[in-house]
Chain A
Amino acid sequence: KAGVTQTPRYLIKTRGQQVTLSCSPISGHRSVSWYQQTPGQGLQFLFEYFSETQRNKGNFPGRFSGRQFSNSRSEMNVSTLELGDSALYLCASSSVDRGRDEQFFGPGTRLTVL
């Protein structure tokens, strides 16, 4: 089975721009979660999508948004980029079956905001 894929792997943007990151989950996984990893704040939960609905949300401003499509692929969008948004953005997918709902992570998208 193919793992979680994230595109692009690297991005460079400037302040004020917006960016869209994409995540394709493992086949059969219907839950997709997003995390931000920075040296200062560590790994922080952004949000989770299941069946095209946001189920959980972390403590991030409204500039961070996401969506999930009917094929379970997910995108996250960050508008009005700030320097502090530079980070590794990780996507994780999971089955929702009880006892098999551990999260499998993709390699991440490294976003640099100049």
Chain B
Amino acid sequence: AQSVTQLGSHVSVSEGALVLLRCNYSSSVPPYLFWYVQYPNQGLQLLLKYTSAATLVKGINGFEAEFKKSETSFHLTKPSAHMSDAAEYFCAVSDRGRRALTFGSGTRLQVQP
């Protein structure tokens, strides 16, 4: 069975600082990996996805993530945090060809002025 672990339920950074949100997955076969963002009282918005092309994936709003098979990781980064980045972030995994997503528990990002 697939699983996703997000280390750190809350992360706080200063505006302009590096954002690093951690995600590790467990899957018996190479999966598809996703990062979603959720703003209060809204649904989920896709930031980026990995589907076995380039291991470094660039997404929207300046975010990127690197797939590291040896570490079973897919950490999300952004060089410089903005106040508007404050939200909850979810890492998710799915088997290839299936649209059922398994989500991590989420990381709430706080950006301090």
A binding-site residues for B, Cβ under 8 Å: 4, 31, 33, 35, 42-45, 48, 55-56, 58, 90, 92, 94, 99, 101-108
Could you say which residues of chain B place their CB within 8 Å of the CB of A31?
99
Classify the interface of chain A: helix, strand, loop or mixed: strand
Q: How far is the CA of A4 from the CA of B43 in the complex (A)?
A: 10
Q: How far is the CA of A104 from the CA of B51 in the complex (A)?
A: 16
Q: Are A90 and B44 touching (Cβ within 8 A)?
A: yes
> Any chain A CB within 8 A of the CB of B100?
yes
Nearest A residue to B106 via CB reads A42
Q: Are A33 and B99 touching (Cβ within 8 A)?
A: yes
Q: Are A103 and B103 touching (Cβ within 8 A)?
A: no
Q: Are A106 and B106 touching (Cβ within 8 A)?
A: no
Q: Are B49 and A106 touching (Cβ within 8 A)?
A: no
Q: Are A105 and B45 touching (Cβ within 8 A)?
A: yes
Nearest B residue to A107 via CB reads B43
Q: Are B106 and A101 touching (Cβ within 8 A)?
A: no
How many chain B residues touch the partner (CB < 8 A)? 21
State the Cβ distance, A101 to closest chain B Cβ, in Å: 6
Some 15 contacts from A to B, beta carbons below 8 A apart, are A42-B104, A42-B105, A42-B106, A43-B92, A44-B103, A45-B101, A45-B102, A48-B100, A56-B98, A92-B44, A94-B99, A101-B99, A102-B46, A105-B43, A107-B41
Q: How far is the CA of A90 from the CA of B42 in the complex (A)?
A: 10
Q: Are A106 and B43 touching (Cβ within 8 A)?
A: yes
Nearest A residue to B103 via CB reads A43
> Any chain A CB within 8 A of the CB of B34?
yes
Nearest A residue to B92 via CB reads A43
Interface centre among A42, A90, A103, A107 (most CB of B within 10 A): A103
Q: How far is the CA of A33 from the CA of B101 in the complex (A)?
A: 9
Q: Are A102 and B49 touching (Cβ within 8 A)?
A: yes
Q: How far is the CA of A42 from the CA of B90 in the complex (A)?
A: 10
Q: How far is the CA of A101 from the CA of B49 in the complex (A)?
A: 11
What does the 1/0 interface line of B77-102 toward A look like (CB < 8 Å)? 00000000000001010000011111
Given A31-B99, A48-B100, A102-B49; A108-B43 close (CB under 8 Å): yes
Nearest A residue to B42 via CB reads A107
Could you say which residues of chain A place their CB within 8 Å of the CB of B44?
90, 92, 105
